[in-house]
Chains A and B, each alone.
Chain A
């Protein structure tokens, strides 16, 4: 019980303090055409709840699709790169380059490839964003195995497959989850930004854009709140899965590494 208090109290205190600051200092200073108050945002959220919830869910599905594809490819690529090290040093510069292409540069291309209204376009954008962090983290995990751990398996006359299954994968698992957590947030952002360039009216990104152009700032912020919350919820979900599969990790028992 004490642990729960210790973990959550600071967050809640900061939240409360932040909200008060926002409501009574920041928003009045900037004026309501620049920054609505939390109260106004909540009101708008309430009024447009149905639309926003459905839009959020629609976008989340795109994000999930992209997440699955991007992370899947990332892990597969990492497995290949870890297996064939030469390939790794040869291809890495290209991966870094691909990662340096800003999303708004390839988003229009994806939209063009798959069609503006096709959710596959947004999934592709999300997938591209997820790929690199998962690749980097998984590679790091696969290559961070102690040489003695491998030698030990060799002394048991283990096959390469057994070494992979019993040593490399479990060692890589914490790193993979780190990559996945980063990817959750990026997949949402990818889906939303993709929608900015055109998409179905049901999509959250389109909602945000429309409300900004119509100067309905409380609605825009309400939509942003929905987007952000879903991203955070997705992140937390992966965190729960992590705890579940990796209960053995020292960090799960409150021990700092």
Chain B
């Protein structure tokens, strides 16, 4: 168990051309095996922050480091996997080949790739679907494939940008539980962007509440619900308390709810 934080952001700011200040003075540390959610109103910069961590957007000021290296170095070393709201599966590849893609780019040999694909599909409970095409799967299934793909090369860090936002409530809750199971099994660290307060509380060890214009961290709330989380906890009094705390933090940060 290393002591280096998985993610360390120091005074990160991002200003886009045209003047919009998406992020200002962000300080955040994520320890190994944490599950950190970023929640906030539209325009608070949470997706931008995620991309700064992933070196997909450079910060205007401040530093971002992942696993003790610069974000850029971490990206080149493929230290993280990313999942978007759209599954972004490539239509011209089967499900299996989609999951293989990062492994191909890492020059893994065929046998190893196939074995890992099977492993991953079992992990997300889609065993046997290697030969299917993305358009044959439902939205929820596609997202599971996207998660399998993101974890296929065992990154220490998983970045997720509202991955369940396009799904219906029931599928969403089910995938929440599956994600927690996968998180426990792989021992990875997760940074999770969401719009949904219950989802943030259910999944996380810590919830980072952000405010908009400019994007800042308003509050960080520790979620002390017991692990592993069960669906029954959604009806706990403590759960509702925490949801209310997050909501109030959002309102204080300027959201009209």
Is A in direct contact with B (CB under 8 Å) within the complex? yes
**Inter-subunit contact B56/A155 (CB<8 Å):** yes
CA distance A156 to B76 in the complex (A): 7
Contacts of A156 in B (CB 8 A): 78, 101-102, 105
CA distance A167 to B93 in the complex (A): 11
Contacts of B93 in A (CB 8 A): 248
B181 interfacial contact with A, CB 8 Å: no
**Inter-subunit contact B81/A155 (CB<8 Å):** yes
**Inter-subunit contact B84/A152 (CB<8 Å):** yes
**Inter-subunit contact A249/B88 (CB<8 Å):** no
CA distance A69 to B54 in the complex (A): 43
**Closest CB in chain B relative to A150 CB, distance in Å:** 9
Q: What residue of chain B has the Cβ atom nearest to residue A167's Cβ?
A: B90
CA distance A158 to B75 in the complex (A): 10
Most B CB within 10 A of own CB, among A152, A157, A167: A152
**Inter-subunit contact A146/B105 (CB<8 Å):** no
**Closest CB in chain A relative to B189 CB, distance in Å:** 16
Contacts of B133 in A (CB 8 A): 248, 250
Contacts of B82 in A (CB 8 A): 151-152, 155
Residues of chain A from 141 to 179 with CB closer than 8 A to chain B in the complex = 146, 148-149, 151-152, 154-158, 162, 166-167, 170, 173
Q: What residue of chain A has the Cβ atom nearest to residue B74's Cβ?
A: A157
Q: What residue of chain A has the Cβ atom nearest to residue B161's Cβ?
A: A148
A255 interfacial contact with B, CB 8 Å: yes
**Closest CB in chain A relative to B70 CB, distance in Å:** 13
Contacts of B86 in A (CB 8 A): 146, 148
Residues of chain B from 35 to 68 with CB closer than 8 A to chain A in the complex = 51, 54-56
Contact bitstring A240-252, B, C-beta under 8 A = 1, else 0: 0000001011100
Contacts of A162 in B (CB 8 A): 105
**Inter-subunit contact A170/B92 (CB<8 Å):** yes
Contacts of A170 in B (CB 8 A): 90-92
B192 interfacial contact with A, CB 8 Å: no
Within the complex, which residue of B81, B101, B135 is in contact with A166, where a contact is CB–CB below 8 Å?
A: B101
Contacts of A248 in B (CB 8 A): 91-93, 133
Q: What residue of chain A has the Cβ atom nearest to residue B106's Cβ?
A: A156
Q: What residue of chain B has the Cβ atom nearest to residue A250's Cβ?
A: B135
CA distance A148 to B92 in the complex (A): 16
Most A CB within 10 A of own CB, among B51, B55, B77, B92: B92
CA distance A152 to B78 in the complex (A): 11
Contacts of B135 in A (CB 8 A): 250, 255
Q: What residue of chain A has the Cβ atom nearest to residue B77's Cβ?
A: A157
**Inter-subunit contact A154/B102 (CB<8 Å):** no
CA distance A162 to B135 in the complex (A): 24
CA distance A246 to B93 in the complex (A): 11
CA distance A151 to B84 in the complex (A): 10
B80 interfacial contact with A, CB 8 Å: yes
Contacts of A255 in B (CB 8 A): 135
**Inter-subunit contact B91/A151 (CB<8 Å):** no
CA distance A155 to B88 in the complex (A): 13
Contacts of A154 in B (CB 8 A): 55-56, 75
CA distance A146 to B102 in the complex (A): 18
CA distance A155 to B78 in the complex (A): 7
**Closest CB in chain A relative to B193 CB, distance in Å:** 13
Contacts of A155 in B (CB 8 A): 54, 56, 75, 78, 80-82
Contact bitstring B82-110, A, C-beta under 8 A = 1, else 0: 10101010111100000001100100000
Within the complex, which residue of B55, B84, B92, B105 is in contact with A158, where a contact is CB–CB below 8 Å?
A: B105
**Closest CB in chain A relative to B40 CB, distance in Å:** 20
Residues of chain A from 185 to 241 with CB closer than 8 A to chain B in the complex = none
Contacts of B75 in A (CB 8 A): 154-155, 157
**Inter-subunit contact A149/B90 (CB<8 Å):** yes
**Inter-subunit contact B91/A249 (CB<8 Å):** yes
CA distance A148 to B83 in the complex (A): 9
Contact bitstring B126-150, A, C-beta under 8 A = 1, else 0: 0000000101000000000000000
A-B CB contact pairs (8 Å), 30 listed: A146-B86, A148-B84, A148-B86, A151-B54, A151-B56, A152-B84, A154-B55, A154-B56, A154-B75, A155-B75, A155-B80, A155-B82, A156-B78, A156-B101, A156-B102, A157-B76, A157-B77, A158-B105, A162-B105, A166-B90, A166-B101, A167-B90, A170-B90, A170-B91, A170-B92, A248-B91, A248-B93, A248-B133, A250-B91, A255-B135
9 more A-B residue pairs beyond the given contacts A146-B88, A149-B90, A155-B56, with a C-beta to C-beta distance below 8 A: A148-B88, A149-B88, A155-B54, A155-B75, A156-B105, A157-B78, A166-B90, A248-B92, A248-B93
Q: Which 6 A-B residue pairings sit nearest by Cβ, starting from the closest?
A: A148-B84, A157-B76, A170-B92, A155-B82, A148-B88, A248-B92
